[in-house]
Amino acid sequence: MPDYSRSQFRADRVRAAALDWQDARVITAHGVTPVEDLAVIAGCRKIAVLAGGESSRDWLCSLADRLGDRYQIVVCSDLTLPDERVEYIVAEGMRTVPLPSRSVVLFIDKGCLT
């Protein structure tokens, strides 16, 4: 990721973890394609998608495209396991980022992170 230092990554990770997630929209997409209306979801400032596998990738790509660059996308995979991964991506990255069965994709309005 060009121009994105390790210290910026750590700072963003801490900010995302410190957010109050009680008002987040939580969507299940684990092995299924969600039926939620993208227009309604686009009004939410914090979205957590329980993902995993390829079945929901097209829907996640559509959501990422709809939300645009106003949102930070964080893909969390295999949390608490030895091979845990947290990746900050842009909308185009949703097409290729690995989505193992234990994945959570966070869409965070950048205004929440300041």
| 80 vs 17, residue with greater confidence | 80
**How are beta strands 25-28 and 46-51 bridged, if at all?**
parallel
CA–CA separation, 113 and 14 (whole Å) = 10
pTM above 0.85, yes or no: no
CATH 3.40.50.40 corresponds to the domain 6-113: no
Q: Are 107 and 67 in contact, with CB atoms under 8 Å apart?
A: yes
Of all residues in the chain, the percent with pLDDT exceeding 70 is: 85
What is the C-alpha separation between 81 and 78, in angstroms, rounded?
Answer: 6
pLDDT class for 23, splitting at 50, 70, 90? confident
